């Protein structure tokens, strides 16, 4: 089974997280991604947040597996010549430089089209072209604020709150990957390349669409019935922060369960969906609520929702898991091994790789195996390649040395690492 992007070559001029998250995803699906790095230093995340001395940081390795690495100084004539050759034989160039950087390098869109009419140039920017902030640099949390996510996250009596999930960075990378794949499909019809641009602000804003929905509803009726402030609180002219409210037609909240006194994640997100109301009432011993008009609609319950949640929380005090309407609801820590569900362990979602220094195993994201026809973009798990190590990256003689990370098969217990290096064609 071949991977869907085999035969596609990508020049990866990105660094830190948004761009590398995009190109790593494309590499998982078979694209040959050549990561272009600064001579002598490489991607800044090779040393950022390092926990093993003189080894590439986890920040770098988690985002750059399955790529090859090229040291290239585009300020030199030799470096420009190498880049021209790469452009002629590649399909996609991905960059997250500041505005105008490619032009200053001598590789404007017109020049790239001249070298390769089928080239797709994909860019990550903080703000879209033409925006009055287009010249500003943007980072993860800035994007969450500029895109509106922070303004509606947190509790109503507190400040805006940014999410620990990478809504600004990795989310932007996923949007960019979709744009690149669409452009590749368009090229099969037209034979022509095109520019793809994604801004971090717009990517965050796209994930806030339900809040845009709420803003329009608020403008029309002056209140939001599913928010905890209704009906006793006051609404201004902007969507308020809603705490742990579900933000939809099903009231929900985070409630304590067994062990909360010592376990910071011993909580359950409990959702009261309409079709589950009768089973919930029976479980709570409140069957009289099932047909009571003061309780049997979501709007009726909203007036007394926290009283209902207090009763549910008391019922949960000796329980560690709840499946209401077959929806798992427990709060889980994203990284602690002890918090991984047995169902997660049975899915091949993580490959283990040796770190370039210290010999410590570390987690590396792998697209799950599987060949079921109803599962989209499953990948055959044929092999996992580590990022090119910094020592290999530095060893390159001049700007034309291409380093490829070691190979390691997914199956547990198989052999060590095999180093390979490929010279630039």
The answer to whether the beta carbons of residues 63 and 45 sit under 8 Å apart is: yes
Sign of the C-alpha dihedral, residues 94, 143, 170, 405?
positive
Show the 3-state SS of 44-98: HHHCCCCCCCCCCCHHHHCCCCCEEEEECCCCCHHHHHHHHHHHHHCCEEEECCC
Encoded tokens for 398: 């001049």
Is 396 in contact with 48 (CB distance < 8 Å)?
no
Element at 37 (helix H, strand E) = strand 32-37
Residue that is written with structure tokens 């009906």 in the block: 231
Q: Sort 196 into a burial class: Cβ within 10 Å, 0-12 / 13-18 / 19+.
A: buried
What three-state secondary structure class fits 399?
helix
Token pair 């996510």 in the structure block, residue: 149
Token pair in block for residue 303: 């007036």
Q: Using CA atoms, how far apart are residues 200 and 141, in angstroms rounded to an integer?
A: 10
Q: Are 67 and 405 in contact (CB under 8 A)?
A: yes
Distance CA(147)–CA(127), nearest Å, equals 10
Token output for 52: 């093993």
CA torsion angle for 209, 215, 218, 220 (degrees, to 10)? -100
Which residues, 6 or more positions from 248, have their beta carbon under 8 angstroms from its beta carbon?
210, 226
Query: If you ran DSSP here, which 8-state letter would residue 330 be given?
Result: B
Cβ neighbours around 124 below 10 Å, total: 28
Catalytic residue among 169, 263, 291, 380: 169
In angstroms, rounded to a whole number, what is the distance separating the alpha carbons of residues 105 and 80?
A: 8
- 156, 160, 94, 168: which is closest to 124 by C-alpha? 94
Backbone angles phi, psi at 384, to 5 degrees: -125, 130
Is 202 an annotated catalytic residue? no
Give the catalytic positions in this structure.
169
């Amino acid at each position: 089974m071949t991977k869907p992007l085999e035969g596609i070559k990508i020049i990866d001029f990105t660094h830190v997280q948004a761009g590398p998250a995009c190109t790593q995803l494309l590499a998982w699906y078979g694209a040959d991604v050549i990561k272009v790095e600064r001579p002598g230093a490489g991607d800044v995340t090779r040393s950022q947040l390092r926990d093993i001395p003189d080894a590439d940081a986890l920040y770098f390795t988690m985002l750059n597996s399955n790529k090859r690495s090229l040291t290239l100084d585009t300020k030199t004539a030799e470096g420009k010549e190498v880049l021209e050759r790469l452009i002629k034989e590649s399909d996609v160039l991905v960059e997250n430089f500041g505005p105008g950087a490619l032009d200053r390098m001598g590789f404007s869109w017109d020049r790239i089209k001249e070298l390769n009419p089928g080239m797709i140039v994909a860019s990550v920017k903080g703000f879209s072209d033409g925006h009055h902030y287009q010249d500003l640099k943007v980072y993860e949390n800035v994007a969450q604020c500029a895109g509106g996510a922070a303004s509606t996250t947190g509790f109503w009596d507190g400040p805006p709150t940014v999410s620990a999930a990478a809504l600004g960075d990795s989310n932007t990378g996923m949007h960019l990957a979709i744009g690149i794949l669409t452009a590749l499909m368009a090229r099969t019809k037209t034979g022509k390349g095109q520019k793809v641009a994604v801004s971090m602000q717009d990517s965050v804003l796209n994930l806030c669409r339900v809040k845009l929905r709420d803003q329009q509803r608020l403008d029309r009726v002056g209140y939001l019935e599913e928010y905890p402030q209704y009906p006793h609180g006051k609404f201004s002219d902007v969507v308020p922060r809603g705490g742990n409210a579900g933000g939809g037609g099903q009231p929900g909240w985070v409630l304590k369960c067994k062990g909360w006194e010592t376990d910071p994640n011993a909580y359950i997100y409990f959702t009261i969906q309409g079709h589950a109301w009768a089973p919930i009432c029976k479980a709570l011993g409140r069957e009289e609520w099932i047909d009571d008009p003061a309780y049997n609609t979501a709007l009726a319950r909203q007036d007394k929702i926290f009283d209902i949640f207090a009763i549910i929380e008391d019922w949960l005090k000796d329980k560690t898991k709840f499946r209401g309407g077959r929806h798992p609801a427990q709060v889980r820590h994203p990284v602690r091994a002890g918090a991984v569900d047995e169902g997660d362990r049975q899915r091949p979602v993580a490959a283990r790789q040796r770190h370039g220094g210290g010999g410590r195993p570390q987690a590396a994201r792998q697209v799950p195996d599987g060949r079921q026809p109803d599962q989209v973009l499953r990948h055959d798990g044929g092999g996992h390649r580590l990022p090119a190590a910094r020592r290999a990256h530095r060893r390159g003689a001049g700007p034309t040395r291409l380093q490829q990370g070691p190979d390691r098969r997914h199956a547990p217990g198989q052999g060590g690492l095999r180093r390979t290096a490929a010279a630039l064609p």
